Amino acid sequence: MKSRLSVRRSSGRHWMRRRPRRHPVPLRLPATAFALATALVACAPEEPAIDGAGTITIAGATLIDGTGAPPVEDAVVIVRGDRIERAGSRQDVPVPEGGEVIDAAGKFLIPGLVDVHNHYRDGLEEWSWGLQLHAGVLTVRSLGSDHGQTPAMIADARAGNVAAPRIFTAGVGFSHPEGFPPGKLGPATEEEAREMVRDLAAQEVDLIKMWVDTFLDTRPKIEPGIRAAIANEAARHGIPVSAHIFFEDDVWQLVDAGVRSFIHGVRDGEVGDDFVAIAQENGLTFAPALGQAKTFWWVAEHPELLDDEEFRAGIQPPALERLLDPENRAAMLASENTAKRRVAFDYMAKFIRRMHEAGVVITLGSDSGAGNIAYGWGTHHELEALVDDGGLTPLQALAAAGAAAAAELTDDPDFGSVAEGMAADLLLLSADPLGDIRNTRRIDRVMQAGVWLERGLPEFPQPAE
């Protein structure tokens, strides 16, 4: 099937250019005029009052804007159309006359969550996106598993024909021909690799994804020469590359080849100061999927999750059946692979703490759609893991799912933070996520592009007769 990804560039409300931000004009006044100017400022608002007609104003919430900036209490956020018109404290942003005003006193306002690591399954796209919208995940990146109808569904979603988050995609990713996951692009030669990158470029993918992993020593890794050819050809087309990694040596080679964005983290040992230095110097970013790494034992250790409606609703029924069986859960805990994965997890958690302390950018990528990671729930679970295991504060974790993740997806993003000119993608929470990051699940309302969503958990689609 011919990809319809090109639709994105020409249409879709998500990619509307943002209005230029207002910058205060510095006034240069002679000293004699200063007193008069001060007097005028005191009795006149700094900017003309906003005409409230047609606006939605959310007033009184504590605003956590997604940049890592300290929260603003008693905030006022004015939404017009699909954009945020003003956002700030009530002193700076008075509630306009007219329009709709939502009293959000006692609540917490954060930007719609951004998740840079997801996989969608052929035929299950609408279900997956419905779960994510319900959970306030309003921007996603599909990382290399688009097969069957998925590319066409993504094009439809971008055209506004299917309810979905804002979607970025890598199309189909690269691995070794016999590597993991199966069914990916597995070029045998460097020239073939370049040809495949050119084909992806013609499909207008947002990035190139490659898996560089042995999957617990069961599969061959993509050859270094092939990786370099992919990265080089992608750079020629101005397309960023994101690599799934496990081993430290591979990161060195990939950085050398020009790769800057990494999925997961170093899991085969502790890195040294030399590694920290190259990560800082090259502006590397890591989206660890700490929650995903724990799923091999998490549910077995937390069987109460199986009573969690949102968790249950986000997992495919056959996988849920397996988890509901206590024998299977016991086997998960006893498995030799789980023991290996725990060791790798401990290295990765240490690695992410080290990177974070060194000021390296950490972004939220849940790996939703892989294994036991429920869509929607998985993003919140990753927020929790970034705090519990990655050493981020809740404020920093919200930036990892906000402005940092948005910057990972595109240059000059117009989403991922709550500020003038940004997309009106908002989550109103009924409890403080800074006190407990798990409170991001206490969602009162979700606004996507200026519209309050009707939330609800979608049913798993029945197979066609």
Closest approach of Cβ 390 to Zn ion, in Å? 17
Residue nearest to Zn ion (CB): 367
Q: CA 221, CA 212: separation in Å to the nearest integer?
A: 6
Is residue 241 within 8 Å of residue 234, measured between CB atoms?
Answer: yes
For Zn ion, which is the closer residue by CB, 245 or 355? 245
Distance of CA 73 to the CA centre of its chain: 25
Q: CA 52, CA 100: separation in Å to the nearest integer?
A: 8
Exposure pattern of 360-388 as b/e (b: 16+ CB <10 Å)? bbbbbbbbbbbebbbbbbbbbbbbbbbbb
For Zn ion, which is the closer residue by CB, 65 or 115? 115
Closest approach of Cβ 262 to Zn ion, in Å? 12
Helix (H, G, I), strand (E, B) or coil at 123: coil
Closest approach of Cβ 243 to Zn ion, in Å? 11
- Measured in degrees and rounded to the nearest 5, phi and psi for residue 69 equal -70, 155
Closest approach of Cβ 338 to Zn ion, in Å? 19
Q: Is the peptide bond before 181 cis (omega within 30 degrees of 0)?
A: yes
Closest approach of Cβ 100 to Zn ion, in Å? 40
Place of tokens 């969503």: 453
For the chain, give the longest Cα–Cα distance. Answer: 84
Closest approach of Cβ 182 to Zn ion, in Å? 14
For Zn ion, which is the closer residue by CB, 7 or 263? 263
Name residue 118's amino acid: N
Helix (H, G, I), strand (E, B) or coil at 308: coil
For Zn ion, which is the closer residue by CB, 367 or 389? 367
For Zn ion, which is the closer residue by CB, 86 or 221? 221
For Zn ion, which is the closer residue by CB, 213 or 367? 367
For Zn ion, which is the closer residue by CB, 88 or 378? 378
Closest approach of Cβ 180 to Zn ion, in Å? 11
Site residues (vs Zn ion, CB under 5 A): 367
Distance of CA 365 to the CA centre of its chain: 6
For Zn ion, which is the closer residue by CB, 101 or 287? 287
Is residue 257 within 8 Å of residue 250, measured between CB atoms?
Answer: no
For Zn ion, which is the closer residue by CB, 233 or 367? 367
Name residue 319's amino acid: A
Closest approach of Cβ 367 to Zn ion, in Å? 4
- Please report, for residues 144, 265, 266, 364, the alpha-carbon distance to residue 271 in angstroms, rounded to integers and kept in the order given: 28, 11, 8, 21
Closest approach of Cβ 244 to Zn ion, in Å? 6
Q: CA 301, CA 295: separation in Å to the nearest integer?
A: 10
- Measured in degrees and rounded to the nearest 5, phi and psi for residue 425 equal -110, 110
Closest approach of Cβ 154 to Zn ion, in Å? 17
Name residue 358's amino acid: A
For Zn ion, which is the closer residue by CB, 284 or 373? 373
Closest approach of Cβ 421 to Zn ion, in Å? 32
For Zn ion, which is the closer residue by CB, 373 or 449? 373
Give which of 128, 164, 192, 111 is closest to 364, Cα–Cα: 111
Helix (H, G, I), strand (E, B) or coil at 389: coil
Is residue 57 within 8 Å of residue 102, measured between CB atoms?
Answer: yes
Q: CA 202, CA 188: separation in Å to the nearest integer?
A: 21
Q: CA 224, CA 230: separation in Å to the nearest integer?
A: 10
- The conformation of residue 253, written as its DSSP 8-state character, comes to H
